[in-house]
Amino acid sequence: MTQNKLTDSPAFKRILPFAVYMVLIFAFDLLKPLMPEGFLTDNYTAITYSVRMLTVAAILVYFFKSYDELRLDSLKAVHVLGALAAGAVVFVLWINMDWDFATLGSSEAYDPRILPGKAYYVFLAVRLAGTALVVPLFEEIFWRSFVLRYFINQDFTAVKIGVFTWMSFIITSLLFGSEHYLWLAGIMAGVFYNLLLYWSRSIYVCIIAHSITNLLLGIYVIRTGSWQFW
């Protein structure tokens, strides 16, 4: 496959934002021990998170017109209300499913209150925007638009949004969970978002629900200091 054919492929445009996000996490983790003492290491998490979000956001903007599954005319009021409710339910379940057996590895809680002066508030704004706007967009495009349909037919664009098969439902839910430190909560969220997709046949509805979950979680973390959820 030539470079032009690769970059023009529908799969590439839906995989790239997610792949870049994951690669940057891995790369920044590898680089962290090599950082010299001083400002960069003291603020490393805040800086690298901001770089990840800005990079992925730029990719999404560049390819946005190619995401023809993002159709506002697919939104119905009842589906939006359902997304708001589902997003809130997933949030409540998420913060109550942090059992020891339901975690992958260990989570390094980052407390941004160590940031100096206004940098704390700037980072909170970036973090909330990233978790409530950027993450739901690229994850739903990847999981619910690409992966779920790919397990039905490798020519995934031939599969209509919201088509159900047991295999794609189960595998996507499990893989979505494995992406998260709280893997069981992740599976639960994947099940909810998949069911929303089957009900509404709209990726936007899944994005709204995912966004509400992440926004409520962000507000909860800031208000309670439960940084381990971030």
Look at residue 38 in the predicted model and tell me its pLDDT: 67
Look at residue 49 in the predicted model and tell me its pLDDT. Answer: 96
Task: List all residues 6 or more positions away from 76 whose beta carbon is below 8 Å from its beta carbon.
Answer: 200, 202
204 and 72 Cβ atoms separated by less than 8 Å: yes
Taking a C-beta distance cutoff of 8 angstroms, is the pair 151, 172 a contact? yes
Which residue in this structure is represented by tokens 């959820």?
Answer: 229
Tell me, what's the pLDDT at 219? 98
- Single-letter code of the amino acid located at 23: V
Coil, strand or helix at 71: coil
Mean pLDDT per 10-residue segment, the chain (230 residues): 74 98 95 76 88 98 96 91 98 96 83 90 97 98 98 98 98 97 97 98 98 98 94
Picking from 79, 90, 86, the residue whose alpha carbon sits closest to that of residue 189 is 90
CB atoms within 10 A of CB 56: 22
pLDDT of residue 192: 98
